[in-house]
Amino acid sequence: MKSVINILVVEDELEAAEDIRNILEEEEGWRCRLAGSGAQAVAEITGDYDVIILDRMLPDMDGIAFLSKIRREGKMTPVLILSNLGQLRHRIDGLDEGADDYLPKPFASEELVARVRTLLRRSQTKDMDDWVTTGGFLIHKEARTVHFKGQFIRMSAQEFSFLTLLCESPNDIVSRELIWQAAWPAYSNLPPRQNVIDVGASRLRKKLEKAIGFDPIDSIRGVGFRLKVG
């Protein structure tokens, strides 16, 4: 792990922000910088931070909007959301938008430290190959999430694997055999079922067209499929 850990704390309540900084700096020796608004956080994110601690409710920007912005720009810094909104749907929304963890307020300082430690360990071992970015898509292979220009798109397991394979080879034709093995791994020892692949492709294309306004996938008859980029 790095000798100096840099953490950005995005929190508009100064006292709360100072408390977090004191916990992390005095008890753990990590270096913290504070941002009291979304605009200030956007300016700060150009720095080299190991973890971002993000308040959900900011005076000028919803924390989720800030998170969507940095993920859309390809910034993969681990993010821990802190929020008074602790209901299940709020936690799911935060995680779906690209957060790595979600801690409802109030919280114990020991739990905050433990969660940050977990994110640091995870980021130290995380392979950059876990991320795929092409044609406006941002895909996290480990978390199995898909965003298009900041918009989260919910995918089934088959749809996720199908799209990821295409995004890994933009503008190239991906064979039906490879798609079958990736999207239907339980049946990969069997010959590809063309009708199943066609139905899966049709569902994926309709979902993308509804979500982003167009269909980015070409079907190459009898050969495979291609993600159109550029």
Q: What is the average pLDDT value for the chain, to the nearest integer?
A: 88
Residues 120 and 13 placed together within one structural domain of the fold: yes
Residues 180 and 101 placed together within one structural domain of the fold: no
Task: Answer whether residue 47 shows pLDDT above 90.
Answer: no
Domain boundary among 109, 126, 143: 126
Task: Answer whether residue 89 shows pLDDT above 80.
Answer: no
- In terms of Cα–Cα distance, which of 129, 149, 121 is closest to 137? 149
Q: Are 38 and 58 in contact (CB under 8 A)?
A: yes
pTM: 0.62
| Residue 114 C-alpha from the chain's centroid | 21
pLDDT reported for residue 86: 63
Q: What is the DSSP string of 141-210?
A: TTTTEEEETTEEE---HHHHHHHHHHHHSTTSPEEHHHHHHHH-GGGTTS---HHHHHHHHHHHHHHHHH
Residues 44 and 87 placed together within one structural domain of the fold: yes
Is 118 a member of any domain? yes
pLDDT reported for residue 165: 95
CA distance 28 to 117: 10
pLDDT reported for residue 115: 92
Adjacency order of strands within the sheet including 224-227: 174-175, 224-227, 217-220
pLDDT reported for residue 128: 55
| Residue 86 C-alpha from the chain's centroid | 20
Residues 144 and 110 placed together within one structural domain of the fold: no
pLDDT reported for residue 2: 55
Range name among 61-65, 91-95, 125-129 with the lowest pLDDT average: 125-129
**φ/ψ of residue 74, rounded to 5:** 85, 10
Provide the CATH number for the domain around residue 49.
3.40.50.2300
Q: pLDDT by residue (tens digit) across 189-217?
A: 888 899 999 999 999 999 999 999 999 99
Is 1 a member of any domain? no
Provide the CATH number for the domain around residue 184.
1.10.10.10
**φ/ψ of residue 216, rounded to 5:** -90, 10
Residues 138 and 83 placed together within one structural domain of the fold: no
pLDDT reported for residue 163: 97
Residues 109 and 161 placed together within one structural domain of the fold: no
pLDDT reported for residue 213: 95
Domain limits at 85?
A: 6-126
Percent of the chain clearing pLDDT 90 (strictly above):
55
Using pLDDT thresholds of 50, 70 and 90, give the confidence band for residue 97.
Answer: confident
Task: Answer whether residue 226 shows pLDDT above 70.
Answer: yes
Range name among 103-107, 120-124, 191-195 with the lowest pLDDT average: 120-124
CA distance 184 to 186: 6
pLDDT reported for residue 215: 96
Residues 71 and 149 placed together within one structural domain of the fold: no
Q: 210 or 2, which is more confident?
A: 210
Residues 36 and 69 placed together within one structural domain of the fold: yes
Q: pLDDT by residue (tens digit) across 15-45?
A: 999 999 999 998 889 999 999 999 999 998 8
**What are the residues facing 10 on neighbouring strands?**
35, 54
Number of domains in the chain: 2
> What's the average model confidence in pLDDT over 43-68?
89
Residues 21 and 111 placed together within one structural domain of the fold: yes
pLDDT reported for residue 186: 87
Residues 152 and 44 placed together within one structural domain of the fold: no
Task: Answer whether residue 188 shows pLDDT above 60.
Answer: yes
pLDDT reported for residue 31: 94
> What's the average model confidence in pLDDT over 104-120?
91
